Amino acid sequence: MSGAATGKVRATLRLEGLCVLAASSIWYAKIGGDWRVFAACFLLPDLSFLGYLAGARVGAFTYNAAHSYIGPVLCLLAAALTASPGISLAIGLIWCAHVGFDRALGYGLKYGEGFGYTHLGRIGRIRE
């Protein structure tokens, strides 16, 4: 599959994800976030997997929409621009932590060929 990161670039992207996970979690702790809320919301972006019920292309779109940094950064921006950042800040941090966690584990953005084709390389069993 072309377009997949390999070698040191892949390792760097995974380390970057780990750093985002750590920074988001530390920031969440620093604002006094409720860890029960963090735990309850941490896996919510994975509901985007349901898009795969409509096929690989739709699944890749819904997964990528929930697993890029665009949404969480927009939440953080909204928090920075409002007088009461509470909920936007918490959502943005939890969402960033989730995306960072997935990247650290090697789950990248998906290509339309199927769930296992990511920008961080092939995941899962390869069927012959």
**Is residue 98 in some structural domain?**
yes
Residue 124 region, left (φ>0) first, then alpha (ψ -120 to 50), else beta?
left
* pLDDT at res. 126: 61
pLDDT tens across 41-67, in order?
999 999 999 999 999 999 999 999 999
Per the structure, the complete domain to which residue 27 belongs is given by: 7-119
- Does residue 74 register a pLDDT over 60? yes
Question: Which segments of the chain does DSSP mark as H helices, in order?
Answer: 7-30, 35-41, 56-67, 70-81, 86-105
**Is residue 1 in some structural domain?**
no
- Average pLDDT of 72-89? 95
What is the pTM assigned to this prediction?
A: 0.91
In whole angstroms, give the CA distance from residue 15 to residue 89.
23
Tally of structural domains, the chain = 1
In whole angstroms, give the CA distance from residue 46 to residue 26.
22
